[in-house]
């Protein structure tokens, strides 16, 4: 028996920025499984090639391209290649992001600029380039990865500081982009993960370990303190399901929204 929502993206062209690992890798695989041809764009080409091989081995379609999202020309070149090779552009996922867990007062200008260039300027580049190219098709779905840190900071030295600042900016421009896309039937939304054990959190735990703390205890404490829902941390798949849904026809009337898949972390 069929379920009520069967997501079929057969023949659609999708571009995922930040597709080489973590959440981006998973959503790329999910989009490919739903039938899309997925252009995997990330800074480290070897990671994209690995993900591409796994997608193709599973019988689905993908293309790997290296791209630094902080450079608008590189972002546009990826979209241009996808359009040139497939004749269209249906889905763009702006997922590339880096962490910055240096305490607010100690963060150097250099580190702050690095996180701004990837998380904020990179997302801006993806939104502007995608909207400019999608307009002519009069349809499209754009999804950006934000964070619960864009809505609230944490006390007691666990703060997100400049990382959170970039995600708050992402939330704002998601709405600006949604207004810009609305006349062209383009939906623009963002998904905010809470806590997902990826390289980003491994980095945070590395720092805690260097400070002499117990890795596992720190992780468990984060989960217990910040995720009300007793299921614990989110998985890559949990975030990907929401993204794939937002790319589907079932989300045709959703735009300008920041949707948190965070076990309640935004409200805790
Ligand atoms: N892991 C979490 O708990 C969590 C929580 C909230 C939000 N997020 C957000 O989810 C997104 C993905 O994070 P993740 O946890 O999967 O991290 P990750 O480090 O596992 O993956 C990030 C990906 O982005 C790519 N990338 C980084 N900088 C880039 C650049 N300048 N140009 C192109 N690609 C670049 C990396 O190569 C990698 O493929 C990020 O936007 C992050 O802020 C993660």
Rounded to an integer, what distance in angstroms lies between the CA atom of residue 72 and that of residue 82? Answer: 16
List the residue whose alpha carbon is closest to atom 20 of ligand 1: 22
List phi, psi (to 5°) of 13: -100, 120
* Mean pLDDT across the chain: 95
Is a pLDDT exceeding 80 seen at residue 85?
A: yes
Q: Is 163 a catalytic residue?
A: yes
254/205: higher pLDDT = 254
Task: Specify burial of residue 153 (Cβ count, 10 A radius: 0-12, 13-18, 19+).
Answer: middle
Rounded to an integer, what distance in angstroms lies between the CA atom of residue 72 and that of residue 87? Answer: 21
User: In this predicted structure, what is the pLDDT of residue 26?
Assistant: 98
Point out which residues pair with 217 in neighbouring strands: none
Look-up: residue for tokens 């959503």? 27
With a 6 A CB cut-off, is 120 part of the ligand 1 pocket? no
From ligand 1's centre to the CA of 37, what distance in Å?
21
CA angle 78, 80, 85 (to 5 degrees): 100
Structure tokens at 94: 């702006």
- Among the listed residues 29, 39, 141, 163, the single catalytic one is 163
| 225-235 tens-digit pLDDT | 889 998 989 99
**What domains are defined for the chain?**
13-195+236-260 (3.40.50.720), 197-233 (no CATH)
| 99-151 tens-digit pLDDT | 887 889 999 999 999 999 999 999 999 999 999 999 999 999 999 999 999 99
Query: Quick check: 112 and 100 in contact, CB under 8 A?
Result: yes
What count of Cα atoms within 13 Å lies in the side-chain half-sphere of residue 31? Answer: 37
- Among the listed residues 29, 141, 167, 222, the single catalytic one is 167
Mean pLDDT of 195-222: 88
Rounded to an integer, what distance in angstroms lies between the CA atom of residue 260 and that of residue 50? Answer: 29
DSSP symbol at 196: B
From ligand 1's centre to the CA of 79, what distance in Å?
19
Tell me, rounded to whole angstroms, the distance of Cα 153 from its chain centroid. 19
| 53-77 tens-digit pLDDT | 999 999 999 999 999 999 999 999 9
Q: Which atom of ligand 1 is nearest to the CA of 239?
A: 10
User: In this predicted structure, what is the pLDDT of residue 222?
Assistant: 86
């Amino acid at each position: 028996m069929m379920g009520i929502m069967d997501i079929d993206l057969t023949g659609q062209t999708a571009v995922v920025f930040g597709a080489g690992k973590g959440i981006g890798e998973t959503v790329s695989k999910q989009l490919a499984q739903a039938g899309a041809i997925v252009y995997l764009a990330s800074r480290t080409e070897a990671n994209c090639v690995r993900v591409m091989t796994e997608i193709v081995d599973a019988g689905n379609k993908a293309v790997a391209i290296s791209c630094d999202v902080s450079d608008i020309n590189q972002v546009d070149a990826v979209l241009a290649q996808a359009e040139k090779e497939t004749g269209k552009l249906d889905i763009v996922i702006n997922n590339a992001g880096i962490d910055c867990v240096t305490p607010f007062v100690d963060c150097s200008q250099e580190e702050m600029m690095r996180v701004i260039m990837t998380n904020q300027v990179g997302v801006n580049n993806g939104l502007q380039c995608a909207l400019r190219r999608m307009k002519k098709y009069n349809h499209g779905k754009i999804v950006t990865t934000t964070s619960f840190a864009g809505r609230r900071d944490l006390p007691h030295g666990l703060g997100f500081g400049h990382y959170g600042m970039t995600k708050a900016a992402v939330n704002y421009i998601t709405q600006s982009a949604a207004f810009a896309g609305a006349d062209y039937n383009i939906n623009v939304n963002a998904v905010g993960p809470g806590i997902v054990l990826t390289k980003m959190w491994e980095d945070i735990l590395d720092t805690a370990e260097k400070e002499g703390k117990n890795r596992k205890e720190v992780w468990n404490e984060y989960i217990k303190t910040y995720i009300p829902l007793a299921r614990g941390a989110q998985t890559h798949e949990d975030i990907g399901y929401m993204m794939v849904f937002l790319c589907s026809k079932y989300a045709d009337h959703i735009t300008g929204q920041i949707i948190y898949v965070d076990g309640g972390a935004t409200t805790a």
